[in-house]
Structure 1
Amino acid sequence: MKNASDNIKKLTIVGGGSAGWMTALYLNKLYNSTEKNFEITVIESPDIGIIGVGEATVHSIRYFFQAMGLNEFDLLKETNATLKTGIMFRNWMKPHADGTMHEYFHPFESQLSGSFLDINSLWMLSGRHEFERFDEGVCLSTALAKNGHSPKSRQSRQYEGLVPYGYHIDAVLLARYLRKIAIENGVTHIEATVNDVEIQGQNIQAVLTENGDRFEADVFLDCTGFRALLISKLKQDNWQSFKEALPCTKAVALQRSMPDGESPRSYTVATALSNGWAWQIDLTNRQGTGYVYDGDRLSADQAEQELRDFLGAESDVIKSVHLDMRVGCLKEFWVGNCIAIGLSGGFIEPLESTGLHLINLSAGLLATHLDHGDTDQSVRDSFNRLMNGFYQDLKQFIVLHYCLTDREDTDFWRQAPATVNQTPWLKEQLQIWHHKICEYQDLAGSYSTVFTDENYRYVLYGMGHHPALKLSVDQGISKDVFDRVKNQSNRVLSNSVPHLDYLNQINL
């Protein structure tokens, strides 16, 4: 007679970091809450550091943390986190006629409703682009960002806000925090460095450590980062590069003290430089910043110097790291009994903070595809098709930010508009969007997982790609609509807590 334990399968995750521990926590909660179906083990090397240069998130990561039962206050304190309402893009177009820098804000928020006509068309037809940014006219988050306020009121409960929000988070501290929670909930943690993989047919039989230990499992998850140590052993010629569309494959990351007189912003800043762009992400204890650049045009030393010049001579740099980024994704994320999660599966440059989102997405998709019995090949094919779709969808959304530029000051920016040729669907849609509004139906049926028509509009109209609409509108009705938005914005601002006050309250 078989014991219940005979039905328990072994699932081993090689690699910690955000990918390993988010996935371990998710699968453990799903499969082992009622009865134990999988024995989940994370083998994490004490010698191999995680990328962990700082992490901004999209707003949907809140739902993951909440579903995992994490206390939001503890999460914020343990990871030196701040709140994020969106991204301020600066210098992605030529300066304005008066010499001021071009900028626009991409919030997580939906555009507000109009009247008989959608508010996006109404904004165009009312000529408001002549005196205000699109985000200023159609959403509430911009007022919070401008005034240094958080998305929280004093009455907001955990994971709730006046507008959608994500986080700025220390990725190293996040991995440690998730590891602690996962171990408390029954995940096995082994500190060891895997240096070899034992293959049998199309499956991994075991992983071997430098200490000579051997670990067998039914399912292996490859969370080894850009090394892709496990999945690369099972299938050769499995990589598809996005470099032609997204040529920024290098980065230099600096951690520095918060500049004197500044407090943590509730938004990310992405400033275009000569051959790429710089991020600025404020934590409670420091600022994470970096330069994502085209390594064919700049050396590592040149990039670091340009970043330091941008930040200013007074910057108190704590440490710097140079990164080679493998931009693209696998053709097959799931081969045999091995699934690649996180950087081992693919990477899209972090312009829209999709790193943790893709881990969350992968773990959730794996949960619906992974069976306690033997997995049919059709299920693997489904997982691979969907994951490829997600990466291709994100690729074209990132290309959108570059291909609309009118900058001509360097070869990098002069050639940026041509990147749209690597995304035929987007190229066709941009032509259509010269003549009509970007709307939900344009993207319906795509693989979009977080960026919808609303997100496309913030970028399109922030970059000046306005449709030539011919309708006439009642200017009185238009004024009423945008006055209502302004009044809503003022009410939200008056109900919100200043960002620094909120952080101080959490970190007492």
Structure 2
Amino acid sequence: MKVINIVGGGSAGWMTAIYLNRYFNQARKNFSINVIESPDIGAIGVGEATVHSIRFFFAAMGLDEKELMAETNATVKTGIMFRNWKKPSGARVHEYFHPFDQQQPGGSIDISSAWLLSDRAGSERYDEAVSINSHLITDGLCPKAPRSPDFGGVTPYGYHLDATLMGRFLRRKAVEAGVNHIEATVSDVVVGDGQIRSVVTDSGSISGDLFVDCTGFRGLLIDRLKADNWESFADALPCDKAVAIQRALPGDGRPRPYTMATALDHGWAWQIDLTSRQGCGYVYDSKRLTPSQAEAELRDFLGRDSEFLSCNHLDMRVGRRQDFWVGNCVAVGLAGGFIEPLESTGLHMIHLGVGLLATHLAGGVDVPPLREAYNAKMRGFYEDLKQFIVLHYALTDRDDTAFWRAAASTLSRCPWLEQQLRVWEHKICEHQDFAGSFASIFTDMNYRYVLYGMNRYPRLTMSLDERDSMGIFSRFSAQVGQVLPACQTHEHFLETVRQDMAGGDGVQ
């Protein structure tokens, strides 16, 4: 029997373990899977927001949604509210919402084009015109109806969750399913003929056929097989540090069903509400700000009267491996690459990496064409994600600090995006613009939310019959009117989770 050794726990290690075990060992055991986790090295555990596709991962693993949410202090995430990414309009701070739901069908013309041609930008945001989730959050609702199945709702949604608790939850589920948990600290890696033969730990030497490197930015295993294997994205994404603060939920203590991403002087701040607390952080460029200055700015932004629970400073290595799979070692999670957490893609990239690994590994542990194909896809996915994040910065008109004055220049590091922005000055952003790309999660619909949210509209010369326009938006309004009464308030849904896991009957 082949042996897979996963070195490192946390989200990457345990997501990899539970996925590979489910994929290969559910019907018949094909691999013996070990997770070698050091009790002395903690997980970073800062990323607490997800994209909506993580539901598919949890569902495929056979997990119970309410159990998952209860054990990770999770809340529902319908999207991200961006604030202050452009200059204010008078006394009004610039704001737009990037939701998870897709734009609804229009009629003779798509609803996005209808919004542009109807000159509605002066009276409503783009997301308000095309997104049901945008209306849900206005009314304090979430996409879960009373009879929604696990991991299903009336619109797509993700989660806010405690990453450390999620790692522990997945560890328990993986071990119950047959994964071997080895508590040991790796001190050396034995290499021969371009392969990892074993890892040396304080509990002895452990050999295997395939090694998955989940050791975070250290890349403890993959670096031993290939030096100079990292491509930095610092020229396009200069934010390389973060300060993370946990605090008590502010205000009335009701968690919001969306993430806040507010632009500050030298980067941006996240605010993520769990049932137990709020996770906050400031992602910034260390060439313009010291850690102590960043912490002070974040504390001022949050309010000095906040009940702060903890503070942690983090170094971020933004970029990716040139080769993720080298010899018999595959780097997953931070060991493979990292894009700053603006669109909450950390867990998504783990899901993507391990899902691809499973399908490629099914053809053999040591098949060069499979390694080459895997590496090409993963490189493309990180490049695609990089340019989507750059889009958020490149569209700003802020010039109040050196950081924001330099933001637009990052566009030159993404030639495809630079060219497309020229094209999108004269036509809508549409699906065919991405044909042949590596888009894994963010499509033309997501690009439009950012483009139009940042007031980057195409100059269209056609006109639209007013009756067509009225019909399109009347149908959307009717759909909103049908959906909203079917949904629970976010607070109500979270209470049903708590009550169900406590053995109660829920809220009536």
**Interval of TM-score (by shorter of Structure 1 and Structure 2):** over 0.9
Paired with 1:158 and 1:321, the residues of 2 have a C-alpha distance of 34
1:90·1:102 contact (CA, 8 Å) conserved in 2? yes
Q: Which residue of 2 aligns with 1:428?
A: 419
Q: Which residue of 2 aligns with 1:71?
A: 64
Give the number of equivalent residue pairs: 499
Paired with 2:488 and 2:368, the residues of 1 have a C-alpha distance of 52
Q: Which amino acid aligns with 2:159?
A: Y
1:281-430 equivalences in 2 (<5 Å): 281-371=272-362, 373-430=364-421
Range with bigger deviation, 372-381 or 45-54: 372-381
Q: Which residue of 2 aligns with 1:215?
A: 206
1:362·1:387 contact (CA, 8 Å) conserved in 2? yes
Q: CA deviation at 1:372?
A: 6.3
Q: CA deviation at 1:484?
A: 2.0
Q: Deviations over 1:393-448 (max 9, x none)?
A: 00000000000000010011111011000000000000000000000000011000
Give the fraction of aligned pairs with identical amino acids, expressed as a percent. Answer: 58
Paired with 1:490 and 1:49, the residues of 2 have a C-alpha distance of 47
Paired with 2:161 and 2:127, the residues of 1 have a C-alpha distance of 25
User: Do structure 1's residue 478 and structure 2's residue 469 form an aligned pair?
Assistant: yes
Q: CA deviation at 1:210?
A: 3.0
Instruction: Determine helix, strand or coil for the equivalent of 1:284.
Output: coil
Paired with 1:246 and 1:148, the residues of 2 have a C-alpha distance of 34
Q: CA deviation at 1:371?
A: 3.8
Q: Deviations over 1:295-314 (max 9, x none)?
A: 11000000001000000111
Instruction: Determine helix, strand or coil for the equivalent of 1:150.
Output: coil
Which of 431, 435, 451 aligns to 1:444? It is: 435
1:6-405 equivalences in 2 (<5 Å): 8-96=1-89, 98-211=90-203, 213-371=204-362, 373-405=364-396
Paired with 2:364 and 2:315, the residues of 1 have a C-alpha distance of 39
Q: Deviations over 1:261-295 (max 9, x none)?
A: 13101100100000100001100000001000001
Q: Which amino acid aligns with 2:464?
A: V
Consecutive unaligned residues in structure 1, runs of 5 or more: 1-7
Q: Which amino acid aligns with 1:270?
A: A
Q: TM-score, normalised by structure 1?
A: 0.97
Range with bigger deviation, 221-230 or 489-498: 489-498
Paired with 1:452 and 1:40, the residues of 2 have a C-alpha distance of 35
Q: Which residue of 2 aligns with 1:3?
A: none
2:434·2:444 contact (CA, 8 Å) conserved in 1? yes
Range with bigger deviation, 214-223 or 375-384: 375-384
Range with bigger deviation, 329-338 or 154-163: 154-163
Q: Which amino acid aligns with 2:64?
A: N
Q: Which amino acid aligns with 2:164?
A: V
Q: CA deviation at 1:374?
A: 4.5
Q: CA deviation at 1:131?
A: 1.2
Q: CA deviation at 1:476?
A: 2.3
Q: Deviations over 1:230-282 (max 9, x none)?
A: 00111111000000000001000001110131310110010000010000110
1:239·1:330 contact (CA, 8 Å) conserved in 2? yes
2:266·2:284 contact (CA, 8 Å) conserved in 1? yes
Paired with 1:337 and 1:87, the residues of 2 have a C-alpha distance of 39
1:54·1:288 contact (CA, 8 Å) conserved in 2? no
1:205·1:216 contact (CA, 8 Å) conserved in 2? yes
Q: Which residue of 2 aligns with 1:502?
A: 493
1:11·1:218 contact (CA, 8 Å) conserved in 2? yes
Paired with 2:255 and 2:314, the residues of 1 have a C-alpha distance of 25
Q: Deviations over 1:180-208 (max 9, x none)?
A: 00000000001111121011120000001
Paired with 1:340 and 1:188, the residues of 2 have a C-alpha distance of 20
2:327·2:366 contact (CA, 8 Å) conserved in 1? no
Q: CA deviation at 1:162?
A: 1.0
Instruction: Determine helix, strand or coil for the equivalent of 1:289.
Output: strand
Instruction: Determine helix, strand or coil for the equivalent of 1:130.
Output: coil
Paired with 1:261 and 1:36, the residues of 2 have a C-alpha distance of 51
Q: Which residue of 1 aligns with 2:502?
A: none
Instruction: Determine helix, strand or coil for the equivalent of 2:147.
Output: coil
RMSD value, Cα: 0.9
Q: TM-score, normalised by structure 2?
A: 0.97
Paired with 1:320 and 1:195, the residues of 2 have a C-alpha distance of 29
Q: Which amino acid aligns with 2:51?
A: V
Paired with 2:306 and 2:147, the residues of 1 have a C-alpha distance of 37
Q: Which residue of 2 aligns with 1:5?
A: none
Q: Which amino acid aligns with 2:235?
A: E
2:4·2:34 contact (CA, 8 Å) conserved in 1? yes
Paired with 2:484 and 2:277, the residues of 1 have a C-alpha distance of 26
Paired with 2:365 and 2:52, the residues of 1 have a C-alpha distance of 35
Instruction: Determine helix, strand or coil for the equivalent of 1:152.
Output: coil
Q: CA deviation at 1:391?
A: 0.2
Paired with 2:78 and 2:365, the residues of 1 have a C-alpha distance of 43
Instruction: Determine helix, strand or coil for the equivalent of 2:182.
Output: strand
